[in-house]
Structure 1
Amino acid sequence: MDKPDTLAPSAPRRFRYFDMVMASFVAVLLLSNVIGAAKLSTVAGFTFGAGILFFPISYVIGDVLTEVYGYAKARRVIWVGFAALIFMAFMSWAVVAMPPAASWDGQEAYESVFGQVPRIVLASIMAFWAGEFVNSYVLARMKIWTKGKALWSRTIGSTVFGQAVDSAIFYPVAFFGVWDTRDVLIVMVTNWLLKVVWEAVLTPFTYLVVGKLKAAEGVEVFDTDTDFSPFATTGKDA
């Protein structure tokens, strides 16, 4: 097998699987926010947000994006996810607000499920934007510090910081006044811990996906000259 090229993230390159990874990221992001974010579950005396089962997968995919394609490409995907969340918030508000047909008796149930989605998505937009950029930044920087070795330290380390920011923003904004304050604080901390544990558990899967994608794309990206501003839209690495 030919050794992958070591490229600066600014080098022009057409990637075969980048669009598929981006689509997976956005799909998991939207579904985890719509289906799982608002439900509290208690299993064996342990209370947690049901979305914890799936939302961390978006962080794993975010790690894969940064590790394989570099920070600039991951930044583009984060903004795509940001736009998708805004559209989902608008669509949920519009659909709930539309008057139901006289023959349809599901409006109350529909509102109970989707009625607080706009608030949840507002919290998710803020938390996702900040948390994902922190996650991607830490991973990209650590890749340089570790010279591309010890992938596990980068994926777990970036998740510790990224998910801490995400949880600290999301749960208070989304659920203060909706849940008991005690539940908000408990779920905020326990979900952060669970997300980090999930990242550690999924490390072998991350290694597998990263290895296959790097081999398929034939590239190894180090963000040595990258503009890390979340708002960079021009320039060689944007």
Structure 2
Amino acid sequence: MMTEQENPSTKSTVETPSSKKAFKYYDLMLVAFVTVLICSNLIGAGKAAQIELPYLGTMIFGAGILFFPISYAFGDILTEVYGYAYDRRAVWCGFAALVFAAFMSQVVIHLTPAPGEYNSHLQEGLESVFGNTWRIVFGSIIAFWSGSLVNAYVLAKMKIYFKGKHLWFRMIGSTACGELVDSSLFYMLAFYAIWPIEQVIQVAIVQYVLKTSWEILAVPFTYKIVAFLKKKENEDYYDVQTNFSPFKLKI
């Protein structure tokens, strides 16, 4: 059951839950979010791909960016429907999953392989795909955590400011802010003093533009999922009195 609460900053009626509810689809969204996050970081990050674009020529990009922006779409959905605190918990779950995946990959790589040509080639493949340097792993995890929370914070605040209207603008705006933090942090943490600074900046800009453009294309699908969840969950949360500390896990 939801109660109505007057938002003093907007003078409009907003809905907040009178008690914490058991949502039907939140767990499914959480699992999907973490799955996309792990797969895009572990599978996609290992390959540099290229594409020919009109007027722009050959563009080189990390294959992970085809799927990583989906995690931001999930973040928008979680914040818009359930509120910042629920998305913050999902981000922390994703953070923990990435840390464990990084730890597990290093343990597996450093185990002595069994004798045989197959195991020897398998070891080489594992090292190529999962043997990223500690700086890349560290940069990826920190960038994701920071960018995702910035995305959720901006979306939550914009929802109050616009009184729940202009969802398309709020999703694109929050993603643009979150991806800016994500791309800037990752490439500086992972490649500063390894690549020339001009190359770090150039690659970061290209990745940022591609990720944000992907979000714009995904807006119609995100709209449909948000509308579906709001109806089924009977929830449309406004973060009027939310504690926005990024270090809380409590909902």
Is the shorter-chain TM-score for this pair beyond 0.5, marking a shared fold?
yes
Which position in structure 2 is the counterpart of 1:48?
A: 61
Give 5+ residue unaligned stretches, structure 1: none
- Inter-partner Cα distance in structure 1 for 2:18 and 2:205: 38
Larger Rg: 2
Give me the TM-score of the superposition, normalised by structure 2: 0.87
Select which of 94, 113, 116 maps to 2:129: 113
- Inter-partner Cα distance in structure 2 for 1:233 and 1:197: 31
Tell me which amino acid in the other structure corresponds to 1:53. Answer: L
- Superposed CA RMSD in Å reads 2.0
2:183 is aligned with 1:167? yes
Give the 3-state SS of the residue equivalent to 1:105 in structure 2.
helix
Note closer, same or farther for the CA distance 1:95–1:68 as it changes in structure 2 (3 Å cut): same
Between 1 and 2, higher relative CO (CA 8 Å, sep ≥ 6) is seen in 1
2:80 is aligned with 1:67? yes
Which position in structure 2 is the counterpart of 1:140?
A: 156
- Inter-partner Cα distance in structure 2 for 1:36 and 1:120: 14
Which position in structure 2 is the counterpart of 1:12?
A: 20
- Inter-partner Cα distance in structure 1 for 2:134 and 2:141: 10
- Inter-partner Cα distance in structure 2 for 1:10 and 1:217: 15
Note closer, same or farther for the CA distance 1:144–1:131 as it changes in structure 2 (3 Å cut): same
Give me the TM-score of the superposition, normalised by structure 1: 0.91
| Pairing of 1:143-222 with structure 2 (within 5 A) | 143-176=159-192, 182-222=198-238
Shift of 1:46: 1.2
Residues 138, 158 of structure 1: 8 Å contact kept: yes
Deviating 4+ runs (over 3 angstroms): 3-7, 175-184
Residues 44, 62 of structure 2: 8 Å contact kept: yes
**Identity level (%):** 50
Note closer, same or farther for the CA distance 1:232–1:105 as it changes in structure 2 (3 Å cut): closer
Pairs aligned (count): 233
Shift of 1:171: 1.9
Which position in structure 2 is the counterpart of 1:86?
A: 99
Give the 3-state SS of the residue equivalent to 1:192 in structure 2.
helix
Residues 66, 139 of structure 1: 8 Å contact kept: yes
2:109 is aligned with 1:96? yes
